[in-house]
Chain A
Amino acid sequence: MSSLGLIPLLALLGCAPTPAPTPTPTKPVGPLTATEAAKLEPVGDPVDLEITSAPHVPPPITRDTPAKLVINLEVKEVQKAISDGVDYVQWTFGGDVPGRFIRVRQGDSVEFHLNNHPDNKMPHNIDLHAVTGPGGGAASSFTAPGHSSQFSFKALNPGLYVYHCATAPVGMHIANGMYGLILVEPPGGLPKVDREYYVMQGDFYTVGKYREKGLQPFDMQKAIEENATYVLFNGSEGSLVGDKALTAKVGETVRLFVGNGGPNLVSSFHVIGEIFDRVYTEGGSNFQENVQTTLVPAGGSAIVEFKVDVPGTYILVDHSIFRTFNKGALGMLKVEGPDDKPVYSGKEIDDVYLADKAASTAPPVPAAGGVLSKDDQIKAGGLLFAGTCSTCHQADGKGIEGVFPPLAGSDFLLGDVERAIGVVVNGRSGPITVNGKDYNSVMPPMSNLNDDEVANILTYVTNSFGNSGGVVTAEQVKKVRASTPRPPGAAH
């Protein structure tokens, strides 16, 4: 650990144009050395520490003395949706992937309790990269189901650290979601920002292919081959889109605590339409400025900061880009503010759909028999719409003027049902006019949806957002699909 604070170090490197002002010497600000931190003794009574689920982050620490903190973290094995209609048994620190965000101050003494829920199948432990000592706590926290372990450590080095399970087979425990972040703030804290969020990437390996419906078991062979089925932010596709998108206002500074649990893939973390003003590379003490894409190692982190100047939707991606468009690594930051035409994200998403179209030849899977009522169709379609369609057409069906055509009151949609079916099944590109406005975008073919699902989505959109229409049946979809020439091998 460098004994130099941030400001003197920058001056040393010649990055600061003028000599930095010396901080008022009333209390120490900036990181201590690990040796100095080791000598700190907690002040006051032990405190139960608040830990948060992603994307939330506990508030900055305002204490200027070290404390004794008690952390209770429960390991739970839970069945969760990782994509629309795709369930997976995730092993979690706290009930969600990623695990709870832990925020402490350099020099704090932490009493850590790892509680392994009685319903769990597996023994678990925790290795916190913020812990100095053999195994990072793993050996001291190895816990059978229905039991609890306690160990204590002092946070010696400031930085943003990954924690994870280290029980054999380690790769499988991590692949199932057992990772999270712990932030050790330097005394004086990090520079003040307006928003802080927690985003953690992980790769998942399922027996079924991408978006194959149902409960999907872990595929050990794919994991060994590092052939990920899903690459996800915050444990599921859609965890950071629609209503769950991150938010900010024009003029605010946003800080993302970015982690990568792996188990295998290194992330090329990027926000489409933004430049990171600062990146604390690998979660350490020094920052780089004006970065487009930062590498986040498996088992590593980065802190990125940027001021949002223009309203619009900014897309969080792993710029190893097929992971974004074909494996699920996509999140959103919605920035509101004074009216201004959002242009950045529009162009980037155009790129998306070309990639998706090129790769998407998955055959539709027939659904079980039976006929739904119109209301049930609308309900089922609404769920699918929220996950798949609302990304572009927006949750209120109004689209984005000039980029994504509206569905609400859309003359193009309501004028010709068969044409609408064709667009969903086969995609569409090129210029069209909707309600008098011109659009020139690409919609990929939704070939992962079966006939029933397409029928339900169309019944939903033609009966929502003020539209009122009839029922679109699977039979109609089947007919349109059958009349479309498909590439050899695409339908079997």
Chain B
Amino acid sequence: MIALLLAAAWAADRVPVGPGVYEPLYPPSPEEARIPVPRFLLAVEPVTNEEYAAFVEENPAWGRGVARLYADEGYLDDWAAPDAPGASVLPDAPVTRVSWYAARAYCRSVGGRLPTEGEWEIAGAASETSWDARKDPHFLARLLAWYGSPTPRVLPAVGGMANRWGVRDLHGLVWEWVEDFNASLVDVDPRGADGEARFCGGGVVGATAVADYAAFMRLALRASLQADSTVRNLGFRCALDGP
């Protein structure tokens, strides 16, 4: 019953995104250089501590004591109590220190799923004024400035400027999980020491968008993760198949 209510509440804050065409930085094959992404629904904001606390209340197994298989020991580590955020974080700030398993479980509980990498990148390519700002130097400079600065002690609340799709906080607040975070099969040494031309020379050989350093950094972050990883500046938002 509560899950249904949550789903209803969440449904109010999602917007249609796409359809679009996702261009992976390292297409697995020439045929997959441009991947059509059907229209889908994406949460306007990342999941907050308050929302995640309601989920934990309904599903106590997802409190801090969750089986270590599903989340490393940093899971919800910044919450005051194992099952409640308390005063140590802002209720409206994005929940972080959640594993991929946990993020999936949350999205399932509200009737959704994690966005795919392609979906996220299409939503994240938009600035406030343009559907595709990947070549806008001002947009890129803003992203790089955020990527280049450490995470603040206390994460601020969600509610940044909406982009052209109406989605907020894709950049500038936290990194976000995607369903297929490790699908790019990026070599963990980005220079392709094994002769794989994936990330060679800091992301040049074989890459399609050499100037899109922001995309490389997201790819690098995703590649550094395991499904049980929790990170202080990594949150998530949910998606749904499109209308």
Contact = CB atoms under 8 A, between A and B. Distances in A.
Contacts of B191: 135, 138, 166, 170
Interface residues of A, number: 35
B147 A122 contact: yes
Contact of A121 (B151, B153, B188, B190): B151
B145 A134 contact: no
Nearest to B212: A169
Contacts of A220: 140-141, 144, 213
A349 interface: no
A303 B141 CA distance: 39
A122 B232 contact: no
B220 A123 contact: yes
A145 B149 CA distance: 13
A121 B199 CA distance: 20
A142 B151 contact: no
A217 B193 contact: no
Contact of B202 (A78, A120, A169): A169
B202 A121 contact: no
B221 A123 contact: yes
A146 B230 contact: yes
Interface string B197-214: 001011100000000010
A468 B217 CA distance: 56
B37 interface: no
A143 interface: yes
Given A123-B220, A127-B189, A145-B151, 17 more contacts: A79-B149, A89-B149, A121-B146, A121-B148, A123-B223, A134-B189, A139-B188, A139-B189, A142-B188, A144-B224, A166-B189, A166-B190, A166-B191, A168-B199, A168-B220, A172-B148, A221-B137
B219 interface: yes
B187 interface: yes
Contact of A168 (B150, B151, B203, B225): B203
B116 interface: no
Contacts of B202: 168-171
Interface string A106-122: 00000000000011111
B131 interface: no
A134 B190 CA distance: 12
Given A121-B150, A169-B202, A134 B232 contact: no
8 contacts: A122-B217, A134-B193, A134-B194, A135-B193, A142-B223, A143-B224, A172-B148, A220-B141
B109 interface: no
Contacts, number: 117
B182 interface: no
Contacts of A146: 74, 230-232
Nearest to A138: B189
Contacts of B148: 89, 121, 172, 176, 217-218
A460 B34 CA distance: 64
Interface string B212-240: 01001101110111000111111000000
Interface string A93-108: 0000000000000000
Q: 3 closest A-B pairs (Cβ-Cβ)?
A: A123-B224, A170-B202, A135-B189
A473 interface: no
Main secondary structure of the interface of B (DSSP, over half): loop
Given A139-B193, A217-B144, A147 B229 contact: yes
Nearest to A120: B150
A119 B74 CA distance: 13
Interface string A123-150: 1010100000011001100111111000
B4 to A, nearest CB: 35
Nearest to A218: B148
A142 B233 CA distance: 17
B155 to A, nearest CB: 11
With a 10 A CB-CB cut-off, give which of A119, A123, A166, A207 has the most chain B CB atoms: A123
Interface of B: 72, 74, 137, 140-141, 144-151, 153, 187-191, 193-194, 199, 201-203, 213, 216-217, 219-221, 223-225, 229-234
B113 to A, nearest CB: 23
A476 to B, nearest CB: 38
Contacts of B219: 168
A167 interface: yes
A77 interface: yes
B223 A122 contact: no
Contacts of A135: 189, 191, 193
A281 to B, nearest CB: 26
B30 to A, nearest CB: 22
A118 B220 contact: no
Nearest to A215: B149
A168 B190 contact: yes
A79 B225 CA distance: 26
B232 A119 contact: yes
A142 B224 contact: yes
A121 B214 CA distance: 13
Contacts of A176: 148
B216 A145 contact: no
Contacts of A127: 189
A145 B229 CA distance: 10
Contacts of B147: 121-122
Nearest to B225: A144
Nearest to A133: B193
Interface string A163-184: 0001111111000100000000
A220 B203 CA distance: 14
Contacts of B213: 169, 172, 220
Nearest to B149: A89
B144 A144 contact: no
A160 B189 CA distance: 23
A168 to B, nearest CB: 4
Nearest to B226: A144
Contacts of B217: 122, 168-169
B235 to A, nearest CB: 13
A120 B147 CA distance: 10
A118 B73 CA distance: 13
With a 10 A CB-CB cut-off, give which of B188, B191, B194 has the most chain A CB atoms: B188
B137 to A, nearest CB: 8
Contacts of A217: 141, 144-145, 148
Contacts of B199: 168
B228 to A, nearest CB: 11
A121 B216 contact: no
A487 B119 CA distance: 55
Contact of B232 (A125, A138, A145): A145
Contacts of B223: 123, 142
